[in-house]
Amino acid sequence: MSSTEYRADTRDMKFILHEVLKIEDDLLKREQYKDFEIADINMIIDEAAKFAETILAPTNKEGDKTGCTFDGNPVAMAELTQ
């Protein structure tokens, strides 16, 4: 891994959600989340990390180089493709 390569800290995210916030003791007991289990939450974190690392992170360099412009219309961003 290069020093500029992004890696999501999923271990830290899971620690915060499960050990600090204890979402299984509150959030997962609420009606709208009752069908979720800890494994589901961990899978969502892992997949979001994969998306951030493989899709979003590679656009950082070009986005930093090109930047954004604003001329009174919507903000224009660099055209990035993968």
Domain boundaries, the chain: 10-66
- Residue 58 pLDDT grade (very low, low, confident, very high; cuts 50, 70, 90): confident
Q: What global pTM score does this model have?
A: 0.75
| Cβ contacts of 37 within 8 Å, gap of 6 or more | 28
Strand partners of residue 76 = 69
User: Residue 33, exposed/middle/buried by CB under 10 A (0-12, 13-18, 19+)?
Assistant: middle
The predicted model gives 74-80 an average pLDDT of 80
- Residue 78 pLDDT grade (very low, low, confident, very high; cuts 50, 70, 90): confident
Per residue in 3-46, pLDDT (tens digit) is 568 999 999 999 999 999 999 999 999 999 999 999 999 999 99
